[in-house]
């Protein structure tokens, strides 16, 4: 079966994703891998069964490659995933994100994106980023293009340990460098309170202790709480 996004590789870094607000690693794989030519997922130290699930998913999706790399920071992990891309484009998504159109159709989102790529070739593409909270869906922020030609990219520079930025050489890739696809990336969150906990207990704490182990944080399970709004997406 020909992928909707031809010559494109999904690139993701994951850790402890058996469950997350978007339904977990299996749901993520099934909402992305059928639509791309290849997949690269880097496990950065899961202890909850995610790594074993990825190995099982390789039987379902033979075009998926799985690699291991201990987490040190986001930029290095993402750069590692890009090393294995052999297609022209890389599509960077996290395991709590879904591409979909305005009708919440996943396939429709990829079809829309493929039409844009075919009609308007460009080295960098921008998406509409939406935060899916349990109470509402709001416009979010994405500081990077999520679809781009890796050969155009010298490195991804992570700033502040939780805000990596894509660069071409020494220049940060900004929105005005990109072609706007008009396609949605929906980012799923748990409750607002749990998001605040994650920011304090993970992102801010990581600044003080780079060796912090994600799954050992007491509030970790709160961040991973399933968001039932995931069921709006098919």
* pLDDT in 10s for each residue of the chain, 234 residues: 689 999 999 999 999 999 999 999 999 999 999 999 999 999 999 999 999 999 999 999 999 999 999 988 888 898 899 999 999 999 999 999 999 999 999 999 999 999 999 999 999 999 999 999 888 889 887 778 999 998 755 555 544 456 677 887 778 888 999 999 999 999 999 887 787 888 888 888 877 887 777 778 888 888 889 999 999 988
List, in sequence order, every residue forming a beta bridge with 163; answer none if it has no partner: 159
List of domains in the chain: 5-189 (3.90.550.10)
Percentages (nearest 5) of helix, strand, coil residues in the chain: 35, 30, 35
> Phi and psi of 158, rounded to 5°?
-85, 125
DSSP string of 36-94, one letter each residue: EEEEEEEE----SSHHHHHHHHHHH-TTEEEEE---S-HHHHHHHHHTT--SSEEEE--
List, in sequence order, every residue forming a beta bridge with 166; answer none if it has no partner: 156
Dist CA 124 CA 40 (whole Å): 19
Q: Which of 120, 109, 173, 116 is nearest to 145 (CA)?
A: 173
Burial of 184 (0-12, 13-18, 19+ CB in 10 A): buried
Q: For residue 113, give every residue at least 6 positions away whose Cβ sits within 8 Å of its Cβ, in sequence order, or none.
A: 4, 5, 99, 125, 147, 181, 183
Dist CA 185 CA 100 (whole Å): 7
**pLDDT computed for residue 92 by the predictor:** 96
pTM score of the predicted model = 0.92
C-alpha atoms less than 13 angstroms from C-alpha of 62 in its C-beta half-sphere? 1
Q: Answer for the pair 94, 185: CB distance below 8 angstroms, yes or no.
A: no
């Amino acid at each position: 079966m020909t992928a909707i996004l031809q010559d494109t590789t999904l690139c993701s870094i994951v850790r402890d994703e058996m469950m997350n607000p978007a339904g977990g690693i299996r749901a993520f794989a099934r909402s992305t891998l059928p639509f791309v030519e290849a997949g690269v997922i880097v496990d950065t130290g899961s202890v909850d069964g995610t790594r074993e699930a990825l190995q099982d998913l390789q039987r379902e999706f033979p075009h998926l490659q799985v690699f291991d790399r201990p987490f040190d920071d986001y930029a290095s992990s993402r750069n590692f995933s890009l090393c294995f891309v052999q297609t022209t484009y890389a599509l960077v998504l996290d395991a709590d994100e879904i591409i979909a159109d305005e009708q919440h159709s996943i396939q429709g989102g990829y079809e829309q994106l493929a039409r844009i790529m075919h009609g308007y070739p460009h080295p960098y593409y921008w998406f509409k980023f939406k935060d899916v909270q349990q109470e509402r869906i709001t416009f979010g922020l994405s500081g990077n293009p999520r679809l781009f030609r890796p050969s155009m990219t010298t490195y991804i520079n992570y700033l502040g340990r939780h805000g990596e930025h894509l660069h071409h050489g020494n220049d940060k890739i900004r929105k005005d460098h990109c072609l706007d696809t008009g396609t949605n990336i929906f980012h799923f969150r748990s409750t607002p309170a749990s998001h605040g906990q994650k920011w304090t207990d993970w992102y801010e704490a990581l600044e003080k202790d780079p060796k912090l182990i994600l799954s050992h944080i007491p509030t970790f399970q709160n961040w991973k709480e399933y968001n039932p709004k995931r069921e709006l997406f098919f």
